Amino acid sequence: MIYIRAMMQPIKEILVLLFLAIFSKATGLKYAYSRGSGVPSDGASYCLSWRLGVEANNVRAWRTVPTQCLRYVENYMIGGQYDRDVELIVEQILSYVSDIVVSSGGLDAWILDVDDTCISNVFYYRGKRFGCDPYDPAGFKSWALKGGCPAIPAVLGLYRQLVDRGFRVILLTGRDEETFGQVTRDNLHNQGFTGYERLIMRSAGDHGKNAVSFKSEIRKQLMEEGYRIWGNVGDQWSDLLGDCIGNRTFKLPNPMYFVP
Amino acid sequence: MIYIRAMMQPIKEILVLLFLAIFSKATGLKYAYSRGSGVPSDGASYCLSWRLGVEANNVRAWRTVPTQCLRYVENYMIGGQYDRDVELIVEQILSYVSDIVVSSGGLDAWILDVDDTCISNVFYYRGKRFGCDPYDPAGFKSWALKGGCPAIPAVLGLYRQLVDRGFRVILLTGRDEETFGQVTRDNLHNQGFTGYERLIMRSAGDHGKNAVSFKSEIRKQLMEEGYRIWGNVGDQWSDLLGDCIGNRTFKLPNPMYFVP
B19: nearest CA partner in chain A? A18
Compute the average pLDDT of residues A48-68. 98
pLDDT at A41: 62
The pLDDT-based confidence of B42 (bands split at 50, 70, 90) is: confident
Give the integer Cα–Cα distance in Å for A188 and A208. Answer: 25
Give the tens place of pLDDT for each residue, B197-247: 999 999 999 999 999 999 999 999 999 999 999 999 999 999 999 999 999
E strands in chain A: 108-112, 168-176, 198-202, 228-234, 248-251
The answer, for B74 touching chain A at a CB cutoff of 8 Å, is yes
Helices then strands, counting H and E runs in chain B, come out as 9, 5
pLDDT at B9: 47
Interface mutation target, options B18, B24, B35, B39, chain A, most CBs of A under 10 Å: B39
Decide: A244 and A212 in contact? Cβ < 8 Å: no
CA distance, residue B252 to nearest chain A CA (Å)? 9
Decide: A92 and B52 in contact? Cβ < 8 Å: no
Decide: A102 and A221 in contact? Cβ < 8 Å: no
Compute the average pLDDT of residues B125-131. 98
Residue A82, pLDDT > 70, answer: yes
The pLDDT-based confidence of B41 (bands split at 50, 70, 90) is: low
Give the integer Cα–Cα distance in Å for A123 and A130. Answer: 9
pLDDT at A10: 46
Instruction: Please judge whether A32 and B37 are an interchain contact, meaning their C-beta atoms are less than 8 angstroms apart.
Output: no
> CA nearest B230: which of B158, B174, B177?
B158
Compute the average pLDDT of residues B45-59. 98
Compute the average pLDDT of residues B94-116. 98
Give the tens place of pLDDT for each residue, A91-144: 999 999 999 999 999 999 999 999 999 999 999 999 999 999 999 999 999 999
Beta-ladder partners of A119? A115, A151
Question: Could you give the C-alpha distances from A9 to A16, B10, B43, in angstroms and in order?
Answer: 11, 15, 44
DSSP code of B35? T
The answer, for B37 touching chain A at a CB cutoff of 8 Å, is yes
Q: How many CB atoms lie within 10 A of CB A95?
A: 10
CB pairs under 8 A between A and B: 143
Instruction: Please judge whether A75 and B29 are an interchain contact, meaning their C-beta atoms are less than 8 angstroms apart.
Output: no
Query: Chain A 41-70, CB below 8 Å of chain B: which residues?
Result: 44-46, 48-50, 52-53, 55-59
Give the integer Cα–Cα distance in Å for B245 and A157. Answer: 35
What is the complex's ipTM, to 2 decimals? 0.85
Give the tens place of pLDDT for each residue, A165-180: 999 999 999 999 999 9
The pLDDT-based confidence of B105 (bands split at 50, 70, 90) is: very high
Residue B75, pLDDT > 90, answer: yes
Q: Give me chain B's average pLDDT, please.
A: 89
Phi-psi group of A166: left, alpha or beta (phi > 0 → left; psi -120 to 50 → alpha; rest → beta): left
Give the tens place of pLDDT for each residue, A13-54: 444 434 434 433 333 333 333 333 444 567 899 999 999 999
Give pTM, 2 decimals. 0.85
